[in-house]
Structure 1
Amino acid sequence: MISTLTVRQAVSDDIAHILRIYNQGIEDRIATLETDAKDLNYMEAWFREHQGRYAVLIAEKDGQVIGWASLNPYSHRCAYSGVADLSIYIDRESRGQGVGSSLLQALEDQAKEMDFYKIVLFTFPFNQQGQGLYRKMGYREVGVFEKQGIMDNRPIDVMIMEKLFQ
């Protein structure tokens, strides 16, 4: 039997899966400056804020949630209403298998439908797998914020990337 990947809008029943995968990203120290695992209350509040324009998409394979991606506000200033920030997290066991590409393409389609003209993202310069995905999908490096945050008592640089749709 051939497994197929499905990408769909997240629903509230997906919150526990989103939380599990997000906490993997926190533990692995490759995708976020967050260092403390999140709980269900945190994720439920986050999910409520991601309705309408700021969608959350889920990737499923064989009925299992193996990844998620979201559009996030870049800024609450009206001048930036056409710019979205991006989050994407893939289950450890599913990384490097094309899940990110499928999620990112679907999220870009969603962004265009919601009148975003640009997506920006922030990644770690050492996250080569993530950068490979973004570059493959047409994102370009804008620059690096040096010592942008602290993780595990060490300063961490953060790379900015973007993709324009218009």
Structure 2
Amino acid sequence: MDFTIEKMEPADWPQVSTIYSAGIKTGIATFQRDVPSWKEWDQSHLNSCRFIARFNDVILGWAALSPTSSRCVYAGVAEVSIYIDPEYKHQGIGTKLLKNLIQQSEKEGFWSLQAGIIKENTHSRELHQKCEFRELGFRERLGQMSNEKWHDVVLMERRSKAVG
């Protein structure tokens, strides 16, 4: 499939939020129970490094960075979020999106990208490993889903070879 990677715009939110909702419904993509409003999502993610994969008028997936801390010493550290529409998984979209996010994050001065991935989400862990993230360890029983099942979260990190 031939698709483009573009900067995410506020007008993309309806499709982006639908993809986010599908991720929530898997029960292994996030501890978030509901899709936030655009305003809430916008305020919790960095203005730079927000991307979508688009084919014609259809958004196939999205990736964005969130700050890990408000302290200035962590200005070059961010947390990755990436979601792919279930209809378009396993077509290289996630790899292309994440590689683009990494490249752009380095241009913005980020030296460390982090991801906290629910242990059962093996596809996301494999995607991150493919893009040079390494597993640091895990946090046991970190969060609970609506079914009251506790989940471990695998901590992954990618250190830039170009920045820092």
Return the TM-score normalized by structure 1: 0.91
Cα offset, 1:80, TM superposition: 0.9
Partner residue in 1 for 2:5: 7
Partner residue in 1 for 2:73: 79
Residues of 2 paired with 1:73 and 1:19: CA distance?
20
Q: Conserved in 1, the CA contact under 8 Å of 2:138 and 2:152?
A: yes
What SS does the aligned partner of 2:42 have? helix
Seen in structure 2, the aligned counterparts of structure 1 residues 116 and 147 have a Cα distance that, compared at 3 Å, is same
Of 85, 88, 96, the residue aligned with 1:91 is 85
Count, aligned residues: 160
1:89-110 CA-partner distances (Å, limit 9, x unpaired) = 0001111111100100110111
- Which consecutive aligned stretches of 4+ in structure 1 deviate over 4 angstroms post-superposition? none
Of 89, 94, 97, the residue aligned with 1:100 is 94
Cα offset, 1:56, TM superposition: 1.2
Residues of 2 paired with 1:74 and 1:48: CA distance?
13
Of 87, 112, 115, the residue aligned with 1:118 is 112
Cα offset, 1:162, TM superposition: 0.3
Q: Conserved in 2, the CA contact under 8 Å of 1:4 and 1:62?
A: no
What SS does the aligned partner of 2:6 have? strand
Cα offset, 1:128, TM superposition: 1.2
How do residues 4-83 of structure 1 correspond to structure 2 at under 5 angstroms? 4-35=2-33, 37-38=34-35, 42-50=37-45, 52-53=47-48, 55-83=49-77
Residues of 1 paired with 2:69 and 2:149: CA distance?
27
1:96-134 CA-partner distances (Å, limit 9, x unpaired) = 111100100110111001100010001011111111111
What SS does the aligned partner of 1:17 have? helix
Q: Conserved in 1, the CA contact under 8 Å of 2:119 and 2:151?
A: no
Gaps of 5+ in 2: none
1:123-156 CA-partner distances (Å, limit 9, x unpaired) = 0111111111111111100010001011121111
Residues of 1 paired with 2:78 and 2:24: CA distance?
22
Return the TM-score normalized by structure 2: 0.92
Residues of 1 paired with 2:60 and 2:138: CA distance?
30
